[in-house]
Amino acid sequence: MSVLAIHGGTPVIAPGTYQRAAWPPTDEETAELVKELYLSGKWSFNSEMEQAFEAEFAASCDAKYGVFMANGTVTLECALLSLGIKPGDEVIVPGLTWMATAMAVIYVGATPVFADVDKDTCCLSAESFQKAISAKTRAVIPVHLYGSMADLEEILAIARQHDIAVIEDCAHMQGGKWNGRGAGSWGDVGSFSFQQSKTLSSGEGGICVTNDATTADLLYRAKHIGYSRMDSQGGAKTPPPPEMICHNYRGLAISALILSRQLKKLPERLQKYRQFADSLCQIVKQFPGVRIQAPGRLATTQGYYGVQVIFDPEIWGTKDIGPVFAYEGFPIFNNYGPVYKHMLFNTEKYRNCGCPNAEFLGLNAKTLLHTYMDSPDMLPVIADIFQKVYENRSQI
């Protein structure tokens, strides 16, 4: 029996030596193009670069329309506005997600309702969604979380039965495909984030995609102070709908350029992540009481913000196991945990239908971010770390 590094033993690999992708990615050619755009002065106001990226990204999702915005929180807010969600309405969200999913609901005056997630995919459970529906339910936001996808087939069927709008939160799912069609294109609106750590990153940024022309117009108005896409800056010709409060949530042309460059390399990156995830799954199968988050049931291309490594506390113990692995050189971190328990979620304006799976995963699932899934050379090291921690788990 060896001593775990967290207790002073020698780590399997030295701290800081795990090979990971430099993030966000940079290259000299993109830097030169950014310089050209900067000098052109065409930075915003529905610039040609913004329009080109909107069309390019929407097409990659198999959607007809894209509306580029400042970040992936305001995209959710504008999606709700475009679908007429208002004070007094309820919107069902998963208990396990980043709190922006729920906060966007609060921003439009509606009430988030927390439903449980599936224990295998860590995404919204269709059964829990159905149980959470009330007379006030107007929308649902399934989140495609980390390395999986919510079951769109089941969720859409329930939503259509009850006339409930569907907003796909795809903040983690750039490039993902469900049954051959892009994530974000199945619901009424798909919302994406391009925050610093995402698989497509411009520091901040976001986009909504949709296949409905009216919804696309309302999304654009919601993010551009009420202007129609057909209007010139300062030359509004038609008003937004009465009582639809619009904002200045515009994105920037430089961000659109950076994202367009990254988008071309995304399929190759996701293929690399999928191979890494499959290999990691084979490693953990050698040890009892640990598993990898299941990919989407009908995911033909799985997007990856990361993967969840899920531990059985009866075998691995009830203490926080993340630091144990991190000290050995395998950097896995806490996930978001249940939204309603997050320190920054400082409101009581919600309804909780009970989320035992979200609670369990918040305690016992750890996150391997996508930047740590870039090098297959690390897989043998990970296997050695699992072997060491498992053999010495009595020390945890």
The percentage of the chain sitting over the pLDDT mark of 70, rounded to a whole number, equals: 100
- Which among 109, 39, 1 is positioned nearest to 347, based on CA atoms? 109
Per-residue pLDDT averaged across 353-364, rounded? 98
Interior CA angle at 190 toward 228 and 125, to 5°?
150
Residue-wise pLDDT tens digits, 254-265: 999 999 999 999
In the prediction, which pLDDT does 233 show? 84
Phi/psi for 290 (5° steps) reads -145, 140
Residue-wise pLDDT tens digits, 171-229: 999 999 999 999 999 999 999 999 999 999 999 999 999 999 999 999 999 999 999 99
Which residue of the set 198, 223, 366, 388 is catalytic? Answer: 198
Q: What's the number of domains the chain is made of?
A: 1
Q: Is the pLDDT of residue 234 over 90?
A: no
- In the chain, the N- to C-terminal Cα span, in Å, equals 13
Question: Token pair of 113, please?
Answer: 């309702």
Q: Is the pLDDT of residue 1 over 80?
A: no
Per-residue pLDDT averaged across 110-139, rounded? 98
pLDDT, averaged across the chain: 97
Range of the domain at 195: 1-396
Please state the separation of Cα 353 from the chain's center in Å.
23
Return the SS3 of 184: coil
369 DSSP β-pair partners: 306
Question: Token pair of 310, please?
Answer: 């899920």
For this structure, is 198 an active site residue? Answer: yes
The CATH number linked to 341 is: 3.40.640.10
Which one-letter DSSP state was computed for residue 185? S
Interior CA angle at 188 toward 46 and 354, to 5°?
120
Q: Are 254 and 203 in contact (CB under 8 A)?
A: no
